[in-house]
Chains A and B, each alone.
Chain A
Amino acid sequence: MGELKLMKGNEALAEAAIRAGADGYFGYPITPQSEVIEYLMAEKPFDRTGMVVLQAESEVASINMLYGGGGSGKKVMTSSSSPGISLMQEGISYLAGGEVPCVIANVVRGGPGLGDIQPAQSDYFQSVKGGGHGDYRLPCLAPASVQEMSDFVPVAFDLAFKYRTPVLIIADGLIGQMMEKVELFDQMPRLTDQEVIEKYPWATTGKPKGKERRILTSLDLDPHKLEKHNQHLHAKYNEIKENEVRYELIDTDDADYLFVAYGSSARICQKSVKLAREKGIKVGLLRIISLWPFASDVIKEFTAKGIKGFLSVEMSMGQMVEDIQLAVQGKTKVDHFGRVGGVIHSPEEVVEALEQKIIGG
Protein backbone atom coordinates (compact mmCIF):
# COMPACT_ATOMS: atom_id res chain seq x y z
CA MET A 1 0.00 0.00 0.00
CA GLY A 2 1.23 3.49 -0.81
CA GLU A 3 1.81 6.20 1.74
CA LEU A 4 -1.39 7.31 3.53
CA LYS A 5 -1.86 11.02 4.14
CA LEU A 6 -4.55 13.48 5.11
CA MET A 7 -4.41 16.14 2.42
CA LYS A 8 -6.37 18.89 0.76
CA GLY A 9 -7.43 18.18 -2.79
CA ASN A 10 -5.17 20.96 -4.02
CA GLU A 11 -2.20 19.52 -2.14
CA ALA A 12 -2.89 16.04 -3.46
CA LEU A 13 -2.92 17.39 -7.00
CA ALA A 14 0.43 19.08 -6.42
CA GLU A 15 2.03 16.05 -4.78
CA ALA A 16 0.71 13.86 -7.58
CA ALA A 17 2.33 16.12 -10.17
CA ILE A 18 5.71 15.57 -8.51
CA ARG A 19 5.14 11.83 -8.18
CA ALA A 20 3.86 11.46 -11.73
CA GLY A 21 7.26 12.61 -12.87
CA ALA A 22 6.15 16.00 -14.16
CA ASP A 23 8.95 18.17 -15.52
CA GLY A 24 7.36 21.50 -14.89
CA TYR A 25 4.54 23.41 -13.23
CA PHE A 26 3.70 26.98 -14.19
CA GLY A 27 0.95 28.88 -12.43
CA TYR A 28 -0.46 32.10 -11.04
CA PRO A 29 -2.16 32.36 -7.63
CA ILE A 30 -5.94 32.36 -7.47
CA THR A 31 -8.38 31.20 -4.81
CA PRO A 32 -9.50 28.41 -4.28
CA GLN A 33 -6.45 26.67 -5.73
CA SER A 34 -3.42 28.71 -4.60
CA GLU A 35 -2.40 25.78 -2.36
CA VAL A 36 -1.20 23.96 -5.47
CA ILE A 37 1.65 26.35 -6.18
CA GLU A 38 2.19 27.04 -2.47
CA TYR A 39 2.60 23.32 -1.80
CA LEU A 40 4.96 22.91 -4.74
CA MET A 41 7.10 25.86 -3.68
CA ALA A 42 7.37 24.47 -0.14
CA GLU A 43 8.12 20.92 -1.30
CA LYS A 44 11.12 21.97 -3.40
CA PRO A 45 10.42 19.44 -6.16
CA PHE A 46 13.54 20.65 -7.94
CA ASP A 47 15.53 18.96 -5.18
CA ARG A 48 13.27 15.91 -5.11
CA THR A 49 13.02 15.12 -8.83
CA GLY A 50 14.41 18.04 -10.78
CA MET A 51 10.91 19.34 -11.52
CA VAL A 52 10.76 23.07 -12.33
CA VAL A 53 8.15 25.23 -10.58
CA LEU A 54 7.58 28.81 -11.60
CA GLN A 55 5.15 31.47 -10.51
CA ALA A 56 4.25 33.15 -13.78
CA GLU A 57 3.19 36.78 -14.12
CA SER A 58 -0.28 35.77 -15.31
CA GLU A 59 -2.34 32.86 -16.56
CA VAL A 60 -1.68 34.04 -20.10
CA ALA A 61 2.00 33.47 -19.44
CA SER A 62 1.39 30.13 -17.66
CA ILE A 63 -0.53 28.61 -20.54
CA ASN A 64 2.04 29.70 -23.10
CA MET A 65 4.77 28.27 -20.88
CA LEU A 66 2.91 24.97 -21.30
CA TYR A 67 3.18 25.35 -25.07
CA GLY A 68 6.92 25.81 -24.73
CA GLY A 69 7.39 22.94 -22.27
CA GLY A 70 4.90 20.46 -23.71
CA GLY A 71 6.01 21.33 -27.23
CA SER A 72 9.53 20.31 -26.36
CA GLY A 73 8.27 16.96 -25.08
CA LYS A 74 8.27 17.67 -21.35
CA LYS A 75 5.46 16.78 -18.95
CA VAL A 76 4.06 20.13 -17.93
CA MET A 77 1.08 21.25 -15.97
CA THR A 78 -0.74 24.33 -14.73
CA SER A 79 -3.69 24.90 -12.46
CA SER A 80 -6.00 27.80 -11.88
CA SER A 81 -9.60 28.63 -11.13
CA SER A 82 -12.35 29.89 -13.41
CA PRO A 83 -11.28 33.50 -14.16
CA GLY A 84 -7.71 32.35 -14.76
CA ILE A 85 -8.87 29.50 -16.98
CA SER A 86 -10.91 31.96 -19.04
CA LEU A 87 -7.76 33.95 -19.55
CA MET A 88 -6.02 30.82 -20.81
CA GLN A 89 -8.53 30.02 -23.52
CA GLU A 90 -6.54 31.58 -26.34
CA GLY A 91 -3.53 29.52 -25.37
CA ILE A 92 -5.59 26.34 -24.98
CA SER A 93 -6.92 26.72 -28.50
CA TYR A 94 -3.33 27.08 -29.77
CA LEU A 95 -2.26 24.03 -27.76
CA ALA A 96 -5.11 21.98 -29.23
CA GLY A 97 -4.28 23.19 -32.74
CA GLY A 98 -0.57 22.54 -32.30
CA GLU A 99 -1.31 19.16 -30.67
CA VAL A 100 0.78 19.95 -27.63
CA PRO A 101 0.35 17.62 -24.63
CA CYS A 102 -0.14 19.19 -21.21
CA VAL A 103 -2.40 19.06 -18.18
CA ILE A 104 -4.57 21.96 -17.02
CA ALA A 105 -6.46 21.76 -13.73
CA ASN A 106 -9.43 24.04 -13.06
CA VAL A 107 -10.62 24.27 -9.46
CA VAL A 108 -13.89 25.88 -10.44
CA ARG A 109 -15.44 28.76 -8.49
CA GLY A 110 -18.62 30.79 -8.86
CA GLY A 111 -18.98 32.99 -11.94
CA PRO A 112 -19.50 34.66 -14.33
CA GLY A 113 -16.87 37.37 -14.15
CA LEU A 114 -15.00 37.67 -10.90
CA GLY A 115 -17.90 35.82 -9.27
CA ASP A 116 -16.84 34.50 -5.90
CA ILE A 117 -14.42 31.93 -4.51
CA GLN A 118 -16.91 29.27 -3.43
CA PRO A 119 -17.36 25.92 -5.22
CA ALA A 120 -19.25 25.83 -8.53
CA GLN A 121 -19.58 23.67 -11.62
CA SER A 122 -20.50 26.39 -14.05
CA ASP A 123 -17.49 25.93 -16.36
CA TYR A 124 -18.87 22.76 -17.94
CA PHE A 125 -19.70 24.37 -21.28
CA GLN A 126 -16.34 26.10 -21.36
CA SER A 127 -14.58 22.81 -20.66
CA VAL A 128 -16.38 20.48 -23.04
CA LYS A 129 -17.72 22.70 -25.78
CA GLY A 130 -14.61 24.64 -26.63
CA GLY A 131 -13.92 27.70 -24.57
CA GLY A 132 -11.33 28.86 -27.03
CA HIS A 133 -11.98 29.34 -30.74
CA GLY A 134 -11.90 26.66 -33.42
CA ASP A 135 -13.03 23.08 -33.78
CA TYR A 136 -11.38 21.24 -30.94
CA ARG A 137 -12.16 19.02 -27.97
CA LEU A 138 -10.32 18.34 -24.77
CA PRO A 139 -10.40 15.17 -22.70
CA CYS A 140 -11.70 16.28 -19.35
CA LEU A 141 -11.53 14.36 -16.08
CA ALA A 142 -13.64 15.24 -13.06
CA PRO A 143 -12.29 13.97 -9.73
CA ALA A 144 -14.84 13.52 -6.94
CA SER A 145 -12.46 12.94 -4.07
CA VAL A 146 -9.05 13.95 -2.83
CA GLN A 147 -7.87 10.46 -3.80
CA GLU A 148 -8.89 11.12 -7.37
CA MET A 149 -7.21 14.54 -7.32
CA SER A 150 -4.06 12.51 -6.93
CA ASP A 151 -4.92 9.50 -9.11
CA PHE A 152 -6.11 11.48 -12.11
CA VAL A 153 -2.85 13.39 -12.57
CA PRO A 154 -0.88 10.48 -14.07
CA VAL A 155 -3.99 9.42 -16.03
CA ALA A 156 -4.23 12.93 -17.45
CA PHE A 157 -0.56 12.97 -18.42
CA ASP A 158 -0.95 9.58 -20.12
CA LEU A 159 -3.93 10.80 -22.13
CA ALA A 160 -2.10 14.02 -23.01
CA PHE A 161 0.86 12.20 -24.49
CA LYS A 162 -1.07 9.29 -25.96
CA TYR A 163 -3.27 11.64 -27.98
CA ARG A 164 -1.02 14.70 -28.11
CA THR A 165 -3.61 16.96 -26.59
CA PRO A 166 -4.13 19.26 -23.62
CA VAL A 167 -6.14 17.46 -20.93
CA LEU A 168 -8.36 19.18 -18.39
CA ILE A 169 -8.90 18.18 -14.78
CA ILE A 170 -12.11 19.82 -13.58
CA ALA A 171 -12.47 20.01 -9.82
CA ASP A 172 -14.16 22.69 -7.74
CA GLY A 173 -13.56 24.66 -4.58
CA LEU A 174 -14.98 21.87 -2.44
CA ILE A 175 -12.71 19.14 -3.81
CA GLY A 176 -9.78 21.55 -3.73
CA GLN A 177 -10.25 22.73 -0.14
CA MET A 178 -11.46 19.51 1.46
CA MET A 179 -9.09 17.10 3.21
CA GLU A 180 -9.47 13.36 2.89
CA LYS A 181 -7.37 10.30 3.23
CA VAL A 182 -5.18 9.73 0.20
CA GLU A 183 -3.05 6.81 -0.68
CA LEU A 184 -0.20 8.35 -2.61
CA PHE A 185 1.21 6.39 -5.52
CA ASP A 186 4.93 5.77 -5.64
CA GLN A 187 7.30 8.21 -7.30
CA MET A 188 7.47 7.63 -11.04
CA PRO A 189 10.74 8.51 -12.70
CA ARG A 190 10.98 11.60 -14.90
CA LEU A 191 12.00 10.81 -18.44
CA THR A 192 15.60 11.59 -19.24
CA ASP A 193 16.29 14.06 -22.05
CA GLN A 194 17.37 11.17 -24.23
CA GLU A 195 14.14 9.29 -23.53
CA VAL A 196 12.11 12.37 -24.43
CA ILE A 197 14.01 12.71 -27.71
CA GLU A 198 13.41 9.07 -28.57
CA LYS A 199 9.82 8.84 -27.41
CA TYR A 200 8.49 12.06 -28.89
CA PRO A 201 9.91 12.58 -32.35
CA TRP A 202 7.49 15.47 -32.91
CA ALA A 203 8.92 17.51 -30.02
CA THR A 204 11.15 20.51 -30.72
CA THR A 205 14.28 19.40 -28.93
CA GLY A 206 16.77 20.53 -31.60
CA LYS A 207 16.86 19.29 -35.19
CA PRO A 208 18.27 15.76 -35.22
CA LYS A 209 21.21 15.20 -37.54
CA GLY A 210 20.14 14.05 -40.98
CA LYS A 211 16.42 14.29 -40.18
CA GLU A 212 13.61 16.76 -40.84
CA ARG A 213 13.32 19.65 -38.45
CA ARG A 214 10.13 19.87 -36.39
CA ILE A 215 7.71 22.78 -36.40
CA LEU A 216 4.95 23.19 -33.86
CA THR A 217 2.33 25.60 -35.10
CA SER A 218 -1.41 25.95 -35.30
CA LEU A 219 -1.17 28.10 -38.43
CA ASP A 220 -1.93 26.89 -41.91
CA LEU A 221 -2.69 29.54 -44.48
CA ASP A 222 -3.73 27.01 -47.10
CA PRO A 223 -7.40 26.30 -46.40
CA HIS A 224 -7.16 22.81 -47.89
CA LYS A 225 -4.31 21.95 -45.60
CA LEU A 226 -6.09 23.44 -42.63
CA GLU A 227 -9.17 21.44 -43.54
CA LYS A 228 -7.04 18.29 -43.56
CA HIS A 229 -5.62 19.23 -40.18
CA ASN A 230 -9.10 19.66 -38.76
CA GLN A 231 -10.12 16.29 -40.19
CA HIS A 232 -7.05 14.75 -38.61
CA LEU A 233 -7.95 16.29 -35.25
CA HIS A 234 -11.50 15.07 -35.65
CA ALA A 235 -10.35 11.50 -36.30
CA LYS A 236 -8.26 11.72 -33.15
CA TYR A 237 -11.24 13.00 -31.16
CA ASN A 238 -13.31 10.08 -32.47
CA GLU A 239 -10.66 7.69 -31.26
CA ILE A 240 -10.77 9.34 -27.83
CA LYS A 241 -14.57 9.04 -27.81
CA GLU A 242 -14.19 5.39 -28.66
CA ASN A 243 -11.67 4.57 -25.92
CA GLU A 244 -11.74 7.05 -23.10
CA VAL A 245 -15.29 7.32 -21.75
CA ARG A 246 -15.12 7.07 -17.97
CA TYR A 247 -18.00 6.81 -15.48
CA GLU A 248 -19.09 4.99 -12.37
CA LEU A 249 -22.44 3.33 -11.59
CA ILE A 250 -23.70 3.49 -8.02
CA ASP A 251 -26.87 1.63 -6.96
CA THR A 252 -28.18 1.53 -10.51
CA ASP A 253 -29.11 -2.17 -10.77
CA ASP A 254 -32.71 -1.84 -9.64
CA ALA A 255 -33.05 1.90 -10.21
CA ASP A 256 -36.18 3.49 -11.60
CA TYR A 257 -34.51 6.89 -11.73
CA LEU A 258 -30.96 8.12 -12.12
CA PHE A 259 -29.07 11.10 -10.81
CA VAL A 260 -26.37 12.12 -13.24
CA ALA A 261 -23.60 14.12 -11.61
CA TYR A 262 -19.85 14.67 -11.47
CA GLY A 263 -17.33 15.98 -8.94
CA SER A 264 -18.71 17.26 -5.63
CA SER A 265 -22.27 17.01 -6.88
CA ALA A 266 -21.73 13.29 -7.37
CA ARG A 267 -20.59 13.03 -3.76
CA ILE A 268 -23.68 14.87 -2.58
CA CYS A 269 -25.86 12.65 -4.78
CA GLN A 270 -24.43 9.53 -3.14
CA LYS A 271 -25.96 10.77 0.08
CA SER A 272 -29.17 11.66 -1.75
CA VAL A 273 -29.36 8.11 -3.09
CA LYS A 274 -29.24 6.80 0.49
CA LEU A 275 -31.83 9.30 1.70
CA ALA A 276 -34.16 8.59 -1.22
CA ARG A 277 -33.87 4.84 -0.79
CA GLU A 278 -34.78 5.23 2.89
CA LYS A 279 -38.01 6.74 1.56
CA GLY A 280 -38.47 3.83 -0.83
CA ILE A 281 -37.48 5.66 -4.00
CA LYS A 282 -35.32 3.46 -6.19
CA VAL A 283 -32.75 5.88 -7.48
CA GLY A 284 -29.17 5.32 -8.54
CA LEU A 285 -26.29 7.50 -9.57
CA LEU A 286 -24.46 7.69 -12.86
CA ARG A 287 -21.27 9.45 -11.89
CA ILE A 288 -19.69 11.05 -14.91
CA ILE A 289 -15.90 10.95 -14.69
CA SER A 290 -14.90 12.07 -18.18
CA LEU A 291 -16.98 15.15 -18.94
CA TRP A 292 -15.67 14.72 -22.46
CA PRO A 293 -15.87 12.17 -23.94
CA PHE A 294 -19.35 11.95 -22.41
CA ALA A 295 -21.05 8.69 -21.43
CA SER A 296 -23.84 9.18 -23.98
CA ASP A 297 -24.05 5.47 -24.81
CA VAL A 298 -24.53 4.54 -21.18
CA ILE A 299 -27.40 7.00 -20.96
CA LYS A 300 -28.85 5.61 -24.19
CA GLU A 301 -28.73 2.08 -22.74
CA PHE A 302 -30.46 3.13 -19.54
CA THR A 303 -33.08 4.91 -21.61
CA ALA A 304 -33.63 1.80 -23.70
CA LYS A 305 -33.91 -0.31 -20.54
CA GLY A 306 -36.80 1.91 -19.48
CA ILE A 307 -35.36 4.20 -16.82
CA LYS A 308 -38.18 6.56 -15.85
CA GLY A 309 -36.13 9.73 -15.69
CA PHE A 310 -32.76 11.40 -15.29
CA LEU A 311 -32.00 14.29 -12.96
CA SER A 312 -28.81 16.12 -13.83
CA VAL A 313 -27.40 17.54 -10.61
CA GLU A 314 -24.81 20.25 -11.21
CA MET A 315 -23.78 23.42 -9.42
CA SER A 316 -24.83 25.39 -12.49
CA MET A 317 -28.06 26.61 -14.04
CA GLY A 318 -28.08 23.49 -16.24
CA GLN A 319 -25.21 22.72 -18.59
CA MET A 320 -24.46 18.99 -18.56
CA VAL A 321 -28.21 18.40 -18.73
CA GLU A 322 -28.06 19.37 -22.42
CA ASP A 323 -25.72 16.47 -23.15
CA ILE A 324 -28.07 14.12 -21.33
CA GLN A 325 -30.98 15.44 -23.37
CA LEU A 326 -28.99 14.86 -26.56
CA ALA A 327 -28.42 11.24 -25.56
CA VAL A 328 -31.98 10.63 -24.41
CA GLN A 329 -33.55 12.17 -27.51
CA GLY A 330 -36.79 12.95 -25.73
CA LYS A 331 -37.47 9.30 -24.92
CA THR A 332 -37.77 9.83 -21.19
CA LYS A 333 -37.88 12.62 -18.64
CA VAL A 334 -34.74 14.70 -18.18
CA ASP A 335 -34.44 17.67 -15.85
CA HIS A 336 -31.84 19.63 -14.00
CA PHE A 337 -31.33 20.71 -10.43
CA GLY A 338 -28.53 22.76 -8.98
CA ARG A 339 -27.66 25.62 -6.68
CA VAL A 340 -25.29 28.19 -8.10
CA GLY A 341 -23.00 31.10 -7.35
CA GLY A 342 -21.06 29.11 -4.78
CA VAL A 343 -24.09 27.76 -2.93
CA ILE A 344 -23.78 23.99 -2.50
CA HIS A 345 -26.98 21.95 -2.75
CA SER A 346 -27.81 19.79 0.21
CA PRO A 347 -28.48 16.06 -0.20
CA GLU A 348 -32.05 16.69 0.98
CA GLU A 349 -32.68 19.37 -1.65
CA VAL A 350 -31.55 16.97 -4.33
CA VAL A 351 -34.05 14.31 -3.22
CA GLU A 352 -36.80 16.91 -3.14
CA ALA A 353 -35.92 17.99 -6.67
CA LEU A 354 -36.12 14.37 -7.83
CA GLU A 355 -39.54 14.02 -6.27
CA GLN A 356 -40.86 17.24 -7.71
CA LYS A 357 -39.23 17.42 -11.12
CA ILE A 358 -38.94 13.79 -12.17
CA ILE A 359 -41.25 11.58 -10.11
CA GLY A 360 -44.08 14.05 -9.67
CA GLY A 361 -43.32 16.29 -12.64
Chain B
Amino acid sequence: MTEEIIIAGFGGQGVLSMGKILAYSGIMQEQEVSWMPSYGPEMRGGTANVTVIVSDERISSPTLTYYDTAIILNQQSMDKFEETVKPGGVLLYDPNGISKHPSRTDITIYKIEGAKIAADMGNTKIFNMVVLGAYLQIKPIVKLENVIKGLKKSLPERYHKLIPLNEDAITQGMKNVITT
Protein backbone atom coordinates (compact mmCIF):
# COMPACT_ATOMS: atom_id res chain seq x y z
CA MET B 1 0.00 0.00 0.00
CA THR B 2 1.25 3.46 -0.91
CA GLU B 3 -0.98 6.49 -0.46
CA GLU B 4 0.21 9.80 -1.90
CA ILE B 5 -1.68 12.81 -0.59
CA ILE B 6 -1.61 16.55 -1.06
CA ILE B 7 -3.25 18.72 1.61
CA ALA B 8 -3.63 22.34 0.59
CA GLY B 9 -5.28 25.42 2.00
CA PHE B 10 -4.54 28.64 3.87
CA GLY B 11 -1.81 28.94 6.45
CA GLY B 12 -3.56 28.80 9.82
CA GLN B 13 -6.06 26.14 8.73
CA GLY B 14 -3.85 23.52 10.28
CA VAL B 15 -2.86 22.01 6.95
CA LEU B 16 0.70 21.21 8.01
CA SER B 17 -0.26 19.81 11.40
CA MET B 18 -2.98 17.65 9.88
CA GLY B 19 -0.36 16.15 7.61
CA LYS B 20 1.94 15.71 10.55
CA ILE B 21 -0.66 13.82 12.57
CA LEU B 22 -1.38 11.58 9.61
CA ALA B 23 2.34 10.92 9.22
CA TYR B 24 2.72 10.19 12.90
CA SER B 25 -0.21 7.78 12.77
CA GLY B 26 1.58 5.94 9.96
CA ILE B 27 4.67 5.58 12.11
CA MET B 28 2.54 4.19 14.94
CA GLN B 29 1.57 1.30 12.70
CA GLU B 30 5.11 0.77 11.45
CA GLN B 31 4.69 2.31 8.03
CA GLU B 32 7.09 4.51 6.12
CA VAL B 33 6.04 8.17 5.94
CA SER B 34 7.20 11.44 4.44
CA TRP B 35 5.90 14.96 4.98
CA MET B 36 7.11 17.69 2.66
CA PRO B 37 5.71 21.20 3.20
CA SER B 38 5.82 24.19 0.93
CA TYR B 39 8.14 26.63 2.63
CA GLY B 40 9.63 30.11 2.23
CA PRO B 41 8.24 32.71 -0.16
CA GLU B 42 5.68 30.25 -1.44
CA MET B 43 4.01 30.66 1.92
CA ARG B 44 3.89 34.48 1.72
CA GLY B 45 0.70 34.47 -0.31
CA GLY B 46 -0.88 32.83 2.70
CA THR B 47 -1.28 29.43 1.10
CA ALA B 48 0.23 26.33 2.60
CA ASN B 49 0.44 22.81 1.33
CA VAL B 50 2.06 19.58 2.30
CA THR B 51 2.69 16.33 0.52
CA VAL B 52 2.21 13.33 2.78
CA ILE B 53 3.10 9.81 1.73
CA VAL B 54 2.25 6.75 3.80
CA SER B 55 3.54 3.45 2.50
CA ASP B 56 4.45 -0.11 3.37
CA GLU B 57 7.59 0.29 1.29
CA ARG B 58 10.55 2.62 1.23
CA ILE B 59 9.29 5.95 -0.09
CA SER B 60 10.76 7.26 -3.32
CA SER B 61 10.17 10.87 -4.29
CA PRO B 62 8.82 13.04 -1.44
CA THR B 63 7.60 15.61 -3.98
CA LEU B 64 5.11 14.57 -6.61
CA THR B 65 3.16 15.72 -9.62
CA TYR B 66 0.12 13.47 -9.20
CA TYR B 67 -1.65 12.28 -6.08
CA ASP B 68 -3.97 9.49 -4.98
CA THR B 69 -5.84 11.97 -2.84
CA ALA B 70 -6.08 15.76 -2.77
CA ILE B 71 -7.54 17.41 0.33
CA ILE B 72 -8.42 20.94 -0.70
CA LEU B 73 -9.39 23.71 1.65
CA ASN B 74 -9.44 26.91 -0.39
CA GLN B 75 -10.11 28.12 -3.91
CA GLN B 76 -6.47 28.81 -4.83
CA SER B 77 -5.62 25.25 -3.94
CA MET B 78 -8.60 23.94 -5.90
CA ASP B 79 -7.38 25.82 -8.97
CA LYS B 80 -3.92 24.37 -8.53
CA PHE B 81 -4.54 20.81 -7.39
CA GLU B 82 -7.81 19.53 -8.89
CA GLU B 83 -5.86 18.57 -12.00
CA THR B 84 -3.24 16.70 -10.01
CA VAL B 85 -5.47 13.89 -8.75
CA LYS B 86 -4.67 10.60 -10.51
CA PRO B 87 -7.56 9.21 -12.56
CA GLY B 88 -9.60 7.07 -10.20
CA GLY B 89 -8.29 9.06 -7.25
CA VAL B 90 -10.05 11.01 -4.54
CA LEU B 91 -10.68 14.71 -4.08
CA LEU B 92 -11.97 15.78 -0.68
CA TYR B 93 -12.87 19.40 -0.10
CA ASP B 94 -14.62 21.79 2.22
CA PRO B 95 -17.16 23.79 0.18
CA ASN B 96 -16.84 26.72 2.56
CA GLY B 97 -15.23 29.52 0.54
CA ILE B 98 -15.15 27.54 -2.69
CA SER B 99 -16.67 29.41 -5.62
CA LYS B 100 -15.65 27.05 -8.42
CA HIS B 101 -16.52 23.50 -7.42
CA PRO B 102 -14.52 20.60 -8.81
CA SER B 103 -15.85 19.21 -12.05
CA ARG B 104 -13.74 16.18 -12.93
CA THR B 105 -15.68 13.02 -13.65
CA ASP B 106 -12.81 10.52 -13.62
CA ILE B 107 -12.23 10.85 -9.88
CA THR B 108 -14.43 10.51 -6.81
CA ILE B 109 -15.27 13.79 -5.16
CA TYR B 110 -16.22 14.08 -1.50
CA LYS B 111 -17.40 17.05 0.55
CA ILE B 112 -16.99 17.79 4.21
CA GLU B 113 -18.44 20.88 5.90
CA GLY B 114 -15.37 21.04 8.11
CA ALA B 115 -15.47 24.72 9.00
CA LYS B 116 -19.16 24.56 9.82
CA ILE B 117 -18.87 21.44 11.94
CA ALA B 118 -15.91 22.82 13.85
CA ALA B 119 -17.80 26.05 14.48
CA ASP B 120 -20.83 24.07 15.67
CA MET B 121 -18.57 22.17 18.01
CA GLY B 122 -17.45 25.52 19.38
CA ASN B 123 -13.79 25.38 18.40
CA THR B 124 -12.64 26.39 14.95
CA LYS B 125 -9.16 25.08 15.70
CA ILE B 126 -10.32 21.48 15.35
CA PHE B 127 -11.34 22.14 11.76
CA ASN B 128 -8.40 20.16 10.45
CA MET B 129 -9.31 17.17 12.61
CA VAL B 130 -12.84 17.12 11.18
CA VAL B 131 -11.33 17.04 7.70
CA LEU B 132 -8.90 14.33 8.77
CA GLY B 133 -11.85 12.29 10.04
CA ALA B 134 -13.60 12.69 6.69
CA TYR B 135 -10.47 11.53 4.91
CA LEU B 136 -10.09 8.48 7.14
CA GLN B 137 -13.70 7.54 6.47
CA ILE B 138 -12.95 7.47 2.75
CA LYS B 139 -9.50 5.90 3.07
CA PRO B 140 -8.98 4.16 6.38
CA ILE B 141 -5.22 3.89 5.81
CA VAL B 142 -4.49 4.39 9.49
CA LYS B 143 -6.46 3.10 12.46
CA LEU B 144 -8.16 5.61 14.73
CA GLU B 145 -6.25 4.32 17.75
CA ASN B 146 -3.00 5.04 15.92
CA VAL B 147 -4.20 8.54 15.10
CA ILE B 148 -4.74 9.11 18.81
CA LYS B 149 -1.29 7.73 19.52
CA GLY B 150 0.06 10.00 16.79
CA LEU B 151 -1.70 12.98 18.35
CA LYS B 152 -0.15 12.18 21.70
CA LYS B 153 3.27 12.03 20.10
CA SER B 154 2.96 15.24 18.14
CA LEU B 155 1.20 17.40 20.75
CA PRO B 156 3.16 18.80 23.67
CA GLU B 157 2.08 17.28 27.03
CA ARG B 158 0.16 20.39 28.08
CA TYR B 159 -2.27 19.95 25.18
CA HIS B 160 -3.05 16.31 25.89
CA LYS B 161 -6.26 17.30 27.62
CA LEU B 162 -7.50 18.38 24.19
CA ILE B 163 -7.17 14.90 22.72
CA PRO B 164 -10.78 13.83 23.47
CA LEU B 165 -12.03 16.94 21.68
CA ASN B 166 -9.84 16.10 18.70
CA GLU B 167 -11.16 12.57 18.73
CA ASP B 168 -14.74 13.88 18.67
CA ALA B 169 -13.83 16.09 15.76
CA ILE B 170 -12.44 13.13 13.83
CA THR B 171 -15.60 11.14 14.53
CA GLN B 172 -17.78 14.05 13.39
CA GLY B 173 -15.75 14.22 10.21
CA MET B 174 -16.19 10.51 9.63
CA LYS B 175 -19.95 10.77 10.07
CA ASN B 176 -20.50 13.80 7.91
CA VAL B 177 -18.48 13.24 4.80
CA ILE B 178 -20.63 12.96 1.68
CA THR B 179 -20.08 12.02 -1.95
CA THR B 180 -21.12 14.56 -4.51
Are A and B direct contacts in the complex by CB distance below 8 Å?
A: yes
Q: Does A178 count as interface, using CB distance less than 8 angstroms? A: yes
The one of B34, B41, B61 in contact with A180, judged by C-beta atoms closer than 8 angstroms, is: B34
A177 to B34, CA, bound (A): 11
Asked whether, in the complex, the Cβ of A178 is within 8 Å of the Cβ of B62, the reply is: yes
Question: Shortest distance in angstroms between B157's beta carbon and chain A's nearest beta carbon?
Answer: 15
Q: Which residues of B contact A89 (CB under 8 A)?
A: none
Q: Does B37 count as interface, using CB distance less than 8 angstroms? A: yes
Asked whether, in the complex, the Cβ of B61 is within 8 Å of the Cβ of A117, the reply is: no
Asked whether, in the complex, the Cβ of B63 is within 8 Å of the Cβ of A344, the reply is: yes
CB-CB under 8 A for A116 and B60, given A6-B20, A6-B33, A180-B34? no
Q: Which residues of A contact B20 (CB under 8 A)?
A: 6, 179
Q: Which residues of B contact A267 (CB under 8 A)?
A: 59-62
List the A residue with the shortest CB-CB distance to B52: A179
Asked whether, in the complex, the Cβ of A116 is within 8 Å of the Cβ of B61, the reply is: no
Cβ contacts A78-103/B at 8 Å (1 or 0 each): 00000000000000000000000000
A257-280 interface (Cβ within 8 A of B): 264, 267-268, 270-274
A264 to B59, CA, bound (A): 12
Q: Does B24 count as interface, using CB distance less than 8 angstroms? A: yes
Question: Shortest distance in angstroms between B146's beta carbon and chain A's nearest beta carbon?
Answer: 13
A6 to B24, CA, bound (A): 6
Q: Which residues of A contact B136 (CB under 8 A)?
A: none
Q: Does A181 count as interface, using CB distance less than 8 angstroms? A: yes
Q: Is the interface of B mostly helix, strand, loop or mixed?
A: mixed
A181 to B36, CA, bound (A): 12
Question: Shortest distance in angstroms between B126's beta carbon and chain A's nearest beta carbon?
Answer: 21
A173 to B62, CA, bound (A): 12
CB-CB under 8 A for A181 and B33, given A6-B154, A267-B61, A348-B65? yes
List the B residue with the shortest CB-CB distance to A180: B34
List the B residue with the shortest CB-CB distance to A178: B36
Q: Does A218 count as interface, using CB distance less than 8 angstroms? A: no
The one of A181, A271, A272 in contact with B32, judged by C-beta atoms closer than 8 angstroms, is: A181
Q: Which residues of A contact B65 (CB under 8 A)?
A: 346-348
List the B residue with the shortest CB-CB distance to A344: B63
CB-CB under 8 A for A116 and B35, given A6-B153, A271-B61? no
Q: Which residues of B contact A179 (CB under 8 A)?
A: 20, 23, 33-36
Q: Which residues of B contact A174 (CB under 8 A)?
A: 36, 62-63
Question: Shortest distance in angstroms between A178's beta carbon and chain B's nearest beta carbon?
Answer: 4
Asked whether, in the complex, the Cβ of A271 is within 8 Å of the Cβ of B40, the reply is: no
Asked whether, in the complex, the Cβ of B39 is within 8 Å of the Cβ of A32, the reply is: yes
Q: Does B85 count as interface, using CB distance less than 8 angstroms? A: no
Question: Shortest distance in angstroms between B111's beta carbon and chain A's nearest beta carbon?
Answer: 29
Asked whether, in the complex, the Cβ of B153 is within 8 Å of the Cβ of A177, the reply is: no
Question: Shortest distance in angstroms between B95's beta carbon and chain A's nearest beta carbon?
Answer: 30
A118 to B40, CA, bound (A): 7
Q: Does B27 count as interface, using CB distance less than 8 angstroms? A: yes
Question: Shortest distance in angstroms between A224's beta carbon and chain B's nearest beta carbon?
Answer: 52
The one of A6, A31, A32 in contact with B35, judged by C-beta atoms closer than 8 angstroms, is: A6
A346 to B62, CA, bound (A): 10
A7 to B82, CA, bound (A): 29
Known: A6-B33, A267-B61. 14 other contacts (CB 8 A): A6-B24, A6-B27, A31-B40, A116-B41, A178-B34, A178-B37, A179-B23, A179-B33, A180-B34, A180-B62, A181-B27, A181-B33, A267-B60, A272-B61
